[in-house]
Amino acid sequence: MWGLNWTLTKFLVQHISPLWSVAIRAVIATLALAAITLARRQFIVPRRGDMPVIVSVAVLHMGAFSVLVAFGLQFVPVGRSIVLGYTTPLWVAPAAWLLLREPVPRERLAGIVLGLAGIAVMFNPSAFDWSNGNALIGSGLLLLAALCWAANIVYVRGHRWISEPFQLVFWQALLASILLTTLTLIREGVPDIAWTRELVGALLFGGIFGTALAHWAMVIINRSLPATITSLGLLATPVMGVAISALVLGEAIELSLIAAMAMILGGILIGTMSRRKPDVVPTTQPIPVAARPSPQSP
């Protein structure tokens, strides 16, 4: 879903302003998540203790990350954008060590160094046009987007959950929709969009699959599989995205981009293959009512 979503975002920002493309998808995602939570009978009113994580996800990931990526894709090819956007895991380890006091094993440190070296390869004089101001701005926005996502991940890892994570996804999308729509209306006013079937289809996919169901899937995956397997599975996203952009948009895959991707993904792979036991993050998970023993239980 996310691999294809990058190519669709590139298509959308060529027909709609970046802010409106993100805002419309957020509204679609909110409606889809409302239907899902109601159908699953998991609609709740969030408690005060979960408000910080709702704000964190809505502002940093669904909001800032999506907006910065949309703007960055105006100036940077999809393949290079995906690599920059998925530098996120490289920033999580040092931030978690500094803020959450999580240990950084040698394997993870080696992965960070290799990944940062991949970024250096991407911006070497033979692979990057330093005279292109738009490319510099776009790349900077994408790196800033990755940092926003990393900040959100670090906060979520340290959050003490009160409600079930999936029960909060709707509220995160709702807050993101309100903030993005309000900001876009103030900045750009009512959009003048030339609607086509392709545009509607791209918005529906981006809202339902690329936002709502993708976030829902991540909640289920994080609760069902070890963190290492989840991290390794996500490495398929940039690879899928680059392949799709080459097939659909005809973007050339330069040798320097392949080398940078290999180094960055290799760094993430090494960093997530640490032989230490998984770090334990204190969280509180409510016990489902059906699972609680009662005096009448046999």
- Model confidence band, residue 254 (pLDDT cutoffs 50, 70, 90): confident
Q: Cβ(162)–Cβ(50) under 8 Å? A: yes
In the predicted structure, residue 172 carries a pLDDT above the cut 70: yes
Domain that holds residue 153: 2-41+50-275
Percent of the chain, pLDDT > 90? Answer: 25
- Provide the token pair at 126: 């033979």
Whole-angstrom distance, CA of residue 275 vs CA of residue 184 = 46
pLDDT computed for residue 118 by the predictor: 80
Per residue in 25-40, pLDDT (tens digit) is 999 999 999 998 999 8
pLDDT computed for residue 124 by the predictor: 62
Long-range contact pairs involving 53-56 (C-beta distance under 8 Å, separation at least 24): 53/155, 53/156, 53/159, 53/161, 53/168, 54/168, 54/171, 54/172, 54/175, 55/175, 56/152, 56/155, 56/156, 56/159
In the predicted structure, residue 280 carries a pLDDT above the cut 60: no
- Dihedral sign for Cα atoms in the order 214, 281, 84, 244: negative
pLDDT computed for residue 51 by the predictor: 93
Question: Which range has the worst mean pLDDT, 31-40, 102-111, 171-180?
Answer: 102-111
How many domains in the chain?
Answer: 1
pLDDT computed for residue 182 by the predictor: 95
In the predicted structure, residue 293 carries a pLDDT above the cut 50: no
Percent composition of the chain: helix, strand, coil (DSSP 3-state, to 5): 70, 0, 30
In the predicted structure, residue 63 carries a pLDDT above the cut 70: yes
Tell me the three state secondary structure of residue 225: coil
In the predicted structure, residue 287 carries a pLDDT above the cut 50: no
CB atoms within 10 A of CB 294: 6
pLDDT computed for residue 56 by the predictor: 92
In the predicted structure, residue 244 carries a pLDDT above the cut 90: no
Inside any domain, residue 281: no
In the predicted structure, residue 9 carries a pLDDT above the cut 70: yes
In the predicted structure, residue 294 carries a pLDDT above the cut 70: no
User: What's the first-to-final CA gap in the chain, in angstroms?
Assistant: 45
Inside any domain, residue 73: yes
The closest alpha carbon to 237, from 213, 212, 210, belongs to 210
- Provide the token pair at 202: 């791209």
Longest dimension (CA), the chain: 75
The closest alpha carbon to 5, from 106, 58, 64, 81, belongs to 81
Inside any domain, residue 70: yes
Inside any domain, residue 295: no
Fill in the amino acid letter for 162.
I
Across the chain, mean pLDDT equals 80
Inside any domain, residue 297: no
Question: Which range has the worst mean pLDDT, 40-49, 102-111, 222-231?
Answer: 222-231
pTM exceeding 0.85 = no
